[in-house]
Amino acid sequence: MTETGTPRVAVYLDFDNIVISRYDQVHGRNSFQKDKTKGLDKDRLQSATVDVGAIIDFASSFGTLVLTRAYADWSADVNAAYHGQLVGRAVDLVQLFPAAAYGKNGADIRLAVDAVEDMFRLPDLTHVVIVGGDSDYIALAQRCKRLGRYVVGIGVAGASSRSLAAACDEFVTYDALPGIPTAITESAEPKKRRPSTPESDDSPADAQVAATGLLERALRISQDKDDTEWLHNSAVKAQMKRMDPSFSEKALGFKSFSDFLRSRSDLVDLDETSTTRLVRLHSDSP
């Protein structure tokens, strides 16, 4: 019997979206459609394999998984290859068929209809996890929030809508999930690159600058609201996530939020004299 108050989570994967986006991230923009016309190479597919387990494990951190559904044309070889992974994690496979004219399978419509139906059918659902960065899911995320659910979005960096990230309570790039190695594109140097923010062509340096600006705004807002100089670092991070649900210190290359703060010593002061870490704008900041 489920304990009262235990978070209950529903996960919906637009599987084609995540697989194609990861392939394009590794091999270059629009590579999937180009390669598909001449036949997809197994080695290229292997190098862009999506770790389904990492996604589901992350989703389970929010509470008990009540249902997990993946939407795709499972007769396609590229999707059928994941059958073992998905069945092994008790994922319900929803069969879709591509339209002849455009090859679009309508996953966004079917997924959205099912999600809204589930929220009314299962009123004890507390969290909805949408795996897929398509902007078509903005309306779904907004509806889920209006119905009182905490909405988590997961999408591939560089192929996810900023507007979708803003519509979620929390948005995480696939690259930032625990255990996922940073994607190395074929045109990149053979070294790890930090993942970018959703739907962004910004360089890692630009992402760092944006994060610094976000931190400063969050601190100023929180200090004005609470009328206090020192703030709990957890409260500051929560404010940053409310302002930009896609913010992730791990995506910027830091192991913890405290490490991120330490790297901004020219902007903030960090008090670590007790177990409760406090942060404030540097006294010399304008």
Residue with token string 């997809």: 40
Structure tokens at 216: 């400063």
- At 155 the three-state DSSP class reads strand
Window from 61-75, 87-101, 164-178 with minimum mean pLDDT: 87-101
Average pLDDT over residues 178-206: 54
pLDDT higher than 50, residue 79: yes
CA pair distance 166, 245, nearest whole angstrom = 6
Per-residue pLDDT, 258: 93
Average pLDDT over residues 230-237: 91
Per-residue pLDDT, 4: 59
Counting other chains too, the contacts that 253-262 makes at CB distance below 8 Å and 24 or more residues apart are 253/194, 253/204, 257/233, 258/233, 260/211, 260/215, 261/215, 261/233
CA pair distance 62, 241, nearest whole angstrom = 16
pLDDT higher than 80, residue 256: yes
Per-residue pLDDT, 86: 94
pTM, to two decimals:
0.73
CA pair distance 16, 157, nearest whole angstrom = 15
Window from 15-24, 242-251, 255-264 with minimum mean pLDDT: 242-251
Angle between helices 233-243 and 204-226 (to 10 degrees): 110
Instruction: Give per-residue pLDDT as tens, 117-130.
Output: 999 999 999 999 99
CATH class in words for 8-176:
alpha beta
User: Can you name the CATH fold of 204-281?
Assistant: Nucleotidyltransferase; domain 5 (3.30.420)
H or E element, residue 13: strand 8-14
Per-residue pLDDT, 129: 97
Average pLDDT over residues 225-230: 81
* Domain ranges across the chain: 8-176, 204-281
pLDDT higher than 50, residue 101: no
pLDDT higher than 80, residue 91: yes
CB 277 within 8 A of CB 258: yes
Mean pLDDT over the full length of the chain: 85
